[in-house]
Amino acid sequence: MREQTLRIENKIGLHARPAALLVKTAAAFKSDIALVKGEKNVNAKSMLAIMSAGVKAGDTVTVRTNGEDEEQALAAVTTLIKAGFNE
């Protein structure tokens, strides 16, 4: 298992468009990918789960990956978040 803690920098947080980008990125990998915010631990491959996490701008989240391509999955999701979801 790999994990990385990041701050959400885009101005609106994980609203529909960045959540969809996150799900699309996560779905490209075989590994399990979770997004953790406080006590919430949600499946990053589920749009509904991501939206239910209520991640806002400035929040800190942890991305956890586990599986055969966990390093690549973590790198891809981390890059997306650090880029502010290209907004």
Please tell me the total number of residues recorded for the chain in this structure. 87
CATH number at residue 67: 3.30.1340.10
| pTM of the predicted structure, to 2 decimals | 0.93
The single residue of 2, 9, 10, 15 carrying the catalytic annotation is 15
Q: What is the count of structural domains for the chain?
A: 1
- For 15, 33, 44, 55, 60, the CA distances from 11, given in Å and listed in that order, are 10, 24, 20, 11, 14
User: Residue 87: is its pLDDT beyond 80?
Assistant: no
CB atoms under 10 Å from CB of 10, counted, come to 17
Task: Quote the strand ranges of the chain, DSSP E.
Answer: 2-7, 32-37, 40-43, 60-66
Q: Is 17 known to be catalytic?
A: no
Distance of CA 59 to the CA centre of its chain: 12
Confidence of residue 10 (pLDDT cuts 50, 70, 90): confident
Identify the domain containing residue 22 by its residue range.
Answer: 2-86
